[in-house]
């Protein structure tokens, strides 16, 4: 037992020939619903196969874990998962046995890549559905009130406010409530490899305040590969982890944040969550082609759309050039910024000369001319990302007629407006220093003048 610690009880194993299979069997239970965990490792506690912590059980449960023998020193570890806990956590391991087995057969299988396929869209489709098989592997995780490895108690991770947090587990789900605090829950996924992509699904019931925020933390970079606030809905919501890197060691941590701002109570019910690998790499050979058919007998070329090219000179700034090399233009595409939807990202029409300015000068010019610039209308009310309607550029790019050279292009800057608040804060920090230096120079100059006069 322990508090705010990861404890480990280890015992060395006799030397076992390389290639053999080691079987560790034990019965575990926890009156504090602490997840069980055990593995076979070397002297550095680095396990060859990193197991997922077992779901908390108050009644004894018999399990068996396997590991391959390295032919070198190895040890069995029984682990107490009690990090970040405020109360005493207890787990009981009993009836522990260890066996070795000779390797009789080994096989390796691999999913073949999907061959090149081109899907033609006629313009009438509203949804594109791709069906994937439901798998049941060590990488498929499902957390329910009856069986889960989530943090066993309530925890406030707000560093600046010490309000109230509540976590209740019932047959209906996990109820999170916060007031002037952030109720934090997490799931240790230390065994998941980074060579795969994952689909995270949450069945939630939004009650009041703010919906849950999800972070899938990469244990190699300590950054969130996925960071999204869920929608205010009772439907199942899914997120895709699109980043894969086989060079990184395995391990993720799934964080759930129930955030309350001030005295506004935030309450959410998480009924269950699941995580499963999805073969994004096997879908890379699928391409989509959009063809808008011509009216029968019209004899016109397919509808033309403008061409967009973009740059990303700063984290808060994008620049886009919209050009049209055709004599006709019938369809204006949506300008999309695939980040979390936020109304403070603004798309502003600027001049072509503005795009040739240094990023800092363009940012400053936008600040002082913002009220007089043309802002594109947001068109992302039902989307998870930012999107703008380019139809307001029709007058500049032409409308089914002949274009003049000056009407064949347009320039757009996308800027995150709260960035100016950071610049303003830096200005407030630096300005007193300049004032102090200026006053000090005046005092020194006055002092020299008085000395010269005397």
Instruction: Map residue 241 onto helix, strand or coil.
Output: strand
The domain covering 139-281 belongs, at the CATH homologous superfamily level, to: Galactose-binding domain-like (2.60.120.260)
Count CB-CB contacts under 10 A for residue 415.
23
Q: What is the pLDDT of residue 213?
A: 95
Q: Tell me 362's DSSP state.
A: H
Q: Rounded CA gap, 173 and 178, in Å?
A: 16
Instruction: Map residue 398 onto helix, strand or coil.
Output: coil
Q: What is the pLDDT of residue 395?
A: 55
Q: Rounded CA gap, 398 and 406, in Å?
A: 10
Tokens of 318: 């994008």
Q: Rounded CA gap, 247 and 159, in Å?
A: 34
Pairing state of beta strands 286-290 and 117-121?
parallel
Q: Rounded CA gap, 292 and 263, in Å?
A: 53
Q: What is the CA radius of gyration of the chain?
A: 30
Instruction: Map residue 24 onto helix, strand or coil.
Output: strand
Q: Rounded CA gap, 216 and 218, in Å?
A: 7
Q: Tell me 384's DSSP state.
A: S
Helix, strand, coil abundance in the chain, percent, nearest 5: 15, 40, 45
Q: What is the pLDDT of residue 227?
A: 92
Q: Rounded CA gap, 441 and 434, in Å?
A: 11
DSSP 293-304: PPPTT--PPPPP
Q: Rounded CA gap, 354 and 363, in Å?
A: 10
Best CA proximity match to 263, nearest among 207, 209, 184, 185: 209
Q: Residue 227 contacts by C-beta under 8 Å, 6 or more apart in sequence?
A: 213, 214, 215, 216, 340
Q: What is the pLDDT of residue 326?
A: 57
CATH of 5-101, one of 3.40.109.10, 2.60.120.260, 3.30.70.330, 3.40.50.1580: 2.60.120.260
Q: Residue 231 contacts by C-beta under 8 Å, 6 or more apart in sequence?
A: 206, 211, 237, 384
Count CB-CB contacts under 10 A for residue 179.
19
CA–centroid distance for 55 within its chain: 25
Q: Rounded CA gap, 230 and 42, in Å?
A: 41
* Predicted TM-score of the model (pTM): 0.58
Q: What is the pLDDT of residue 294?
A: 39
Q: Rounded CA gap, 281 and 240, in Å?
A: 13
Q: What is the pLDDT of residue 201?
A: 94
Q: What is the pLDDT of residue 397?
A: 55
Task: Note down pLDDT in tens along the chain; length 454 residues.
Answer: 888 777 888 889 998 888 888 889 999 998 887 878 888 888 877 666 666 667 777 889 898 888 888 888 999 988 887 776 777 888 999 999 999 988 777 777 766 666 677 777 776 777 777 777 777 777 888 899 988 888 888 889 888 888 999 999 999 999 999 999 999 999 988 888 898 899 999 999 999 999 999 999 998 888 999 999 999 988 899 998 888 888 888 889 999 999 999 999 999 999 999 999 987 776 666 776 665 443 333 333 444 556 778 888 888 899 988 876 654 555 566 788 877 778 889 999 998 889 889 999 999 999 999 888 888 888 877 777 888 887 777 555 554 444 444 456 788 999 999 998 888 888 888 888 888 888 888 888 888 877 766 5
Are 271 and 203 a contacting pair, CB within 8 Å? yes
Are 306 and 322 a contacting pair, CB within 8 Å? yes
Q: Tell me 54's DSSP state.
A: B
């Amino acid at each position: 037992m322990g508090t705010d610690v990861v404890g480990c009880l280890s015992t060395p194993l006799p030397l076992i020939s390389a290639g053999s299979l080691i079987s560790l069997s034990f019965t575990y239970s926890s009156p504090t619903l602490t997840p069980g965990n055990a593995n076979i490792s070397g002297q550095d506690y680095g396990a060859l196969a990193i197991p997922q912590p077992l779901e908390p059980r108050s009644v004894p449960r018999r399990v068996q874990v396997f590991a391959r023998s390295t032919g070198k020193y190895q040890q069995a570890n029984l682990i107490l998962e009690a990090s970040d806990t405020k109360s005493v956590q207890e787990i009981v391991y009993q009836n522990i046995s260890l066996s070795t087995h000779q390797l009789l057969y080994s096989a390796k299988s691999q999913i073949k890549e999907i061959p090149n396929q081109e899907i033609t869209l006629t313009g009438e489709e509203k949804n594109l559905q791709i069906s994937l098989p439901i798998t049941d592997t060590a990488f498929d995780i499902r957390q329910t009130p009856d069986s889960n490895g989530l943090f066993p108690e309530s925890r406030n991770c707000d560093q600046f406010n010490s309000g109230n947090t509540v976590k209740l587990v019932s047959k209906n789900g996990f109820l999170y409530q916060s007031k002037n605090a952030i109720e934090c829950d997490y799931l240790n996924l230390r065994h998941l490899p980074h060579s795969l992509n994952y689909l995270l699904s949450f069945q939630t019931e939004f009650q009041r305040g703010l919906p849950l925020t999800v972070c899938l933390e990469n244990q190699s970079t300590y950054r969130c590969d996925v960071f999204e606030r869920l929608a205010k809905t009772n439907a199942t919501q899914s997120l895709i982890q699109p980043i894969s890197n086989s060079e990184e060691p395995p391990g993720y941590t799934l964080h759930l944040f129930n955030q309350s701002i001030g005295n506004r109570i935030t309450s959410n019910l998480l009924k269950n969550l699941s995580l499963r690998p999805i073969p994004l790499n096997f879908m890379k050979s699928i391409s989509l082609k959009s063809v808008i058919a011509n009216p029968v007998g019209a004899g016109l070329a397919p509808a033309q759309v403008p061409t967009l090219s973009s740059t990303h000179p700063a984290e808060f700034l994008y620049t886009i050039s919209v050009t049209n090399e055709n004599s006709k233009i019938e369809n204006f595409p949506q300008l999309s910024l695939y980040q979390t939807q936020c109304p403070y990202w603004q798309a502003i029409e600027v001049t072509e000369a503005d795009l040739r300015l240094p990023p800092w000068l363009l940012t400053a010019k936008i600040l002082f001319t913002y009220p007089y610039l043309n802002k594109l209308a947001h068109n992302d009310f039902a989307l998870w990302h930012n999107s703008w309607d380019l139809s307001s550029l029709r007058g500049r790019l032409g409308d089914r007629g002949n274009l003049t050279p000056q009407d064949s292009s347009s320039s757009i800057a996308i800027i995150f407006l709260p960035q100016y608040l950071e610049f303003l804060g830096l200005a407030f920090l630096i300005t007193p220093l300049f004032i102090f230096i200026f006053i000090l120079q005046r005092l020194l100059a006055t002092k020299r003048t008085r000395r010269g006069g005397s």
